[in-house]
Structure 1
Amino acid sequence: MAGEPAVTSKMYLRTCHWIKISLLVFVLYWLSAATEELNSEPTNIEKRSGIFTDSKKKQTSVSFASNHFSQDIRLDSALNESILYFKRTPKDSKFRFAQTEYSKEEVLQSLEELQQLIHDNTNEEIQNKIQKHFHLMELSPAEGPPTITGYYEVRIYGKTKREGEFQYPALSPPTSDSLSVENPKFFPRERWKEKSTWEKYSKPIIFIRLTDLHLAQLEGSALVQTETNERFRINYAADNGKDYISPSVFLKGICPSLKPYHLSDCIQKKPKEVSDAIFKNPRYIFFERESLSSSKSKSAESVFGPFGSQGIRLVSFRSVAMDKEVPLGFPVLLSFQSKDWSLNHHLVFVHDRGNAISGVGRLDYYLGNENGVEEVANNLLTKGKVILLLPKKKNEKQLDKENKSNEKF
């Protein structure tokens, strides 16, 4: 047993050596992790990437929040819709804003240059170069900063036969023979309550609830699902030429607001008052049915919406409705801040009109059809900044080039 202390001593030394190595490895790992954390980008800081990305502070649902991770396809699609629209116009078409007139060629060239910029440059480079291709005109009406609202595509349930609360047809545009004294297209809303009228002059596409008909006509389209699980879209096709009067005028003290959930609740409690208020709005919208491709994915359906004005397909978060004074198809930089979210120089395109969108101080932002979008759209009412991108004339571009060349000397 005389050799036992020596063995114990060796074991002790080995153990100490192992502990030292373990401590060294741990320290090196900790230093590496700390260095990596310092070098990494903080995850709790809101990212902003200039004019082509919007930043969301909060959302009302997961599906709506995740709608913003594919901005490139939306931007490309919206820009392409503008280009296709101008290509469809006659060769000698002119587009005017303020005192300046632009040819089809000038507008198309500017949009195609913008398309090239987006594809070939970083966001920072795009911001620098965009001013070389466009005049940036901020729209500042006398009454103050522009008013920004939101709209969306309604999702509704309908039935192929008239029954229960599904009493109200979404009608196709009316037709009449040459012998008719009156044109049914201009009938006020009250006339279209009568079954004899729509059976004679029109065809029902689907039967829906009165509040859903109001929403579909207000927004200009709706995604419909029937009792057989068939899905299709109804798009704006025509109107009776009358001005819109909001039912809220006649519902003071009855409904807290015209938000869908308030309206649905109100019509249950006060059916006559709400029905009368809706029918006092003389404006009536007719629809056309659009089949949805069975191969179209839900993500594509959330990006591409109904038709806006002049056959332009609306693109969620990239299409806006503005006054007729602002030419269709033109690009706009949109900025605003609301309690839900904010945008900073977000690139959008004028793809739609609206009966209630009057004056250059009004902009309606299309938010798509995803779950939760209804509440966000209904709550969006704020002031903002709207900058219209106007094409530079050929001689202006040449002058810019010469000035740049002179700066080098």
Structure 2
Amino acid sequence: MVHQTMAIRMTSASKASSNNKVMASLSHKTVLRMGLARAVAAALTLGSIGIVGSLSGCSSAPPVVSPQAPTATQDPPLPPPISQAKSRWVAVAWHELPGFEQDTLPEAWPAWLRSCERPTHVWQARCPELRRLNEASPATRREWLREKLQPYRVESHEASGEGLLTGYYEPLLEASRRPQGRFTVPLHAAPATLASRKPWFTRQEIDTNPQARAALRGKALLYLNDPVDAMVLHIQGSGLVRVSEPDGRVRTVRLAFAGTNDQPYKSIGRWLLDQNYTRDASWPGIKAWIERNPSRVQELLWQNPRYVFFREEALPAGDIPGPKGAQGVPLTAGRSIAVDPGSIPYGTPVWLASSGPQTSLQRLVLAQDTGTAIRGAVRADYYAGSGFEAGELAGRLKQPLRLWVLWPK
């Protein structure tokens, strides 16, 4: 009944839209099949469409405006690759550097200013700006980096961007100026005959050959109490030593790298693995093997024929700076790396990304050192600092690595 009432009302109003013609368009069979109420409802629906169509035809339709898609920000064109002797640098956009927005840049600035003490010609013009930014906010420093520098992904010439990160540190050891008690393992200054014989005597010959022993007579700087600690110092290249002097004083000095016997470096950890003596070739693993095999220590150490000579350096009062790297400036814990200079020049700021079981690193570092085992395009040794904790990290650090150099535009 309701539908009929609505139909009656709408029918009287549908004269303006010729509703009779709409009703006529429905066949007799259709009316009978649908029933009177449904037929009228169908007529009303069609009639309504007609009314709307008539009204819309009497008015001007507003123009249809298609929404404009937002314009994407385009990165500026990238410069061409740069070739180095042992690597290829491929320009990338800043957003490709993982963790760039999160790094605490002020922590890296002291290391960068150290490199400015001995800048290469490429960086001489930038160093005054770096000094002015020393008190700037992290956001201001980040903006300067984007404006002045271009990041390049470091690859091998075979286009591989994956490499290896290891770690090194500066040991902190106890020593005596004279041999006494347990302190019987000497650390030597370079002998006068070092330049006259290339290569010089091997590590085993230094311990056993009378000619080598005679050449080193009077060259002992001080004495350690553990031959393994001496090997650690030889591999790391420098160390802090608390020395007991003959007059009873105890002072801390640095033993810095002064040369080698020009023999090849061979890893004692690698030898232990090759002999199936251990499955852990880290320093903690090596020391554990030595504790189980104390009578074989000399045999183990002789597997590395390279021998390092040192020079003693006095330390300044106050904060102790890091040891000097190959660039000739003090290293900064957590912000200095050793590289292959054929891939990355000294003094270059580098973005480093590495994740593994020991640590996760995404940060700005400076290429300030090198090492005999640091060879290849994407290869770095991470300076962890001084002391026991740094040694624990450095001794176990061996994980994948990616590098980007930041180069002036």
TM-score clears 0.5: yes
Aligned to 2:204: 190
Aligned to 2:220: 204
In 2, Cα distance between the equivalents of 1:387 and 1:49?
11
In 2, Cα distance between the equivalents of 1:257 and 1:144?
27
- What is the number of equivalent residue pairs in this alignment? 299
1:311 maps onto 2:328 in alignment: yes
Aligned to 1:158: 175
| Contact map agreement 2:337 2:366 (CA 8 A) in 1 | yes
1:368 maps onto 2:389 in alignment: no
Aligned to 1:287: 310
Select 1:50's aligned residue among 98, 101, 121.
Answer: 101
1:107 maps onto 2:140 in alignment: no
In 2, Cα distance between the equivalents of 1:281 and 1:216?
13
In 2, Cα distance between the equivalents of 1:207 and 1:156?
10
| Structure 1 residue 362 displacement after superposition | 0.6
1:324 maps onto 2:347 in alignment: no
Aligned to 1:237: 258
* Structure 1 residues 124 and 114: alpha-carbon distance in aligned structure 2, compared to 1, 3 A threshold: same
* Structure 1 residues 50 and 275: alpha-carbon distance in aligned structure 2, compared to 1, 3 A threshold: farther
| Structure 1 residue 191 displacement after superposition | 2.2
**What does 1:45-84 correspond to in 2, within 5 Å?**
50=101, 52-53=103-104, 72=106, 75-84=108-117
Determine which structure has more spread, i.e. the larger CA radius of gyration.
2
1:89-119 CA distance string (max 9 Å, x none): xxxxxxxxxxxxxxx4432113433443453
In 2, Cα distance between the equivalents of 1:261 and 1:162?
27
Aligned to 1:248: 269
In 1, Cα distance between the equivalents of 2:336 and 2:265?
22
| Contact map agreement 1:176 1:201 (CA 8 A) in 2 | no
In 2, Cα distance between the equivalents of 1:187 and 1:361?
33
Aligned to 1:119: 135
1:380 maps onto 2:394 in alignment: no
* Structure 1 residues 251 and 165: alpha-carbon distance in aligned structure 2, compared to 1, 3 A threshold: farther
* Structure 1 residues 82 and 316: alpha-carbon distance in aligned structure 2, compared to 1, 3 A threshold: same
In 2, Cα distance between the equivalents of 1:377 and 1:239?
22
Report which of the two has the higher share of helix. Answer: 1
| Structure 1 residue 198 displacement after superposition | 4.1
Select 1:357's aligned residue among 374, 378, 386.
Answer: 374
Amino acid in structure 1 at the alignment position of 2:399: T
Aligned to 1:99: none
Detail structure 1 runs of 4+ shifted over 4 Å in the superposition.
none
Amino acid in structure 2 at the alignment position of 1:277: L
1:335 maps onto 2:353 in alignment: yes
Gaps spanning 5+ residues in structure 2: where? 1-98
In 2, Cα distance between the equivalents of 1:239 and 1:338?
33
Superposition TM-score, scaled by structure 1 size: 0.66
In 2, Cα distance between the equivalents of 1:106 and 1:78?
17
| Contact map agreement 2:270 2:281 (CA 8 A) in 1 | no
Over aligned residue pairs, what C-alpha RMSD do you find? 2.7
Aligned to 2:94: none
Helix, strand or coil at the partner of 1:277 = helix
In 1, Cα distance between the equivalents of 2:198 and 2:176?
25
- Identity between Structure 1 and Structure 2 (%): 26
1:128 maps onto 2:149 in alignment: no
In 2, Cα distance between the equivalents of 1:256 and 1:108?
48
Helix, strand or coil at the partner of 1:192 = helix
| Contact map agreement 2:351 2:406 (CA 8 A) in 1 | yes
| Contact map agreement 1:136 1:390 (CA 8 A) in 2 | yes
Gaps spanning 5+ residues in structure 1: where? 1-47, 54-70, 87-103, 393-409
**What does 1:257-296 correspond to in 2, within 5 Å?**
257-293=280-316, 295-296=317-318
| Structure 1 residue 204 displacement after superposition | 0.7
| Structure 1 residue 349 displacement after superposition | 0.8
| Contact map agreement 1:51 1:123 (CA 8 A) in 2 | no
| Structure 1 residue 372 displacement after superposition | 1.6
| Contact map agreement 2:258 2:308 (CA 8 A) in 1 | yes
Helix, strand or coil at the partner of 2:155 = coil
* Structure 1 residues 133 and 198: alpha-carbon distance in aligned structure 2, compared to 1, 3 A threshold: farther
In 2, Cα distance between the equivalents of 1:263 and 1:341?
21
* Structure 1 residues 50 and 80: alpha-carbon distance in aligned structure 2, compared to 1, 3 A threshold: same
1:340-371 CA distance string (max 9 Å, x none): 43232x22111100111101211111111144
Helix, strand or coil at the partner of 1:339 = coil
1:117-136 CA distance string (max 9 Å, x none): 4533x323433331321221
In 1, Cα distance between the equivalents of 2:116 and 2:257?
22
In 2, Cα distance between the equivalents of 1:368 and 1:108?
28
In 2, Cα distance between the equivalents of 1:119 and 1:217?
39
Greater RCO, CA 8 A, separation 6+: 1
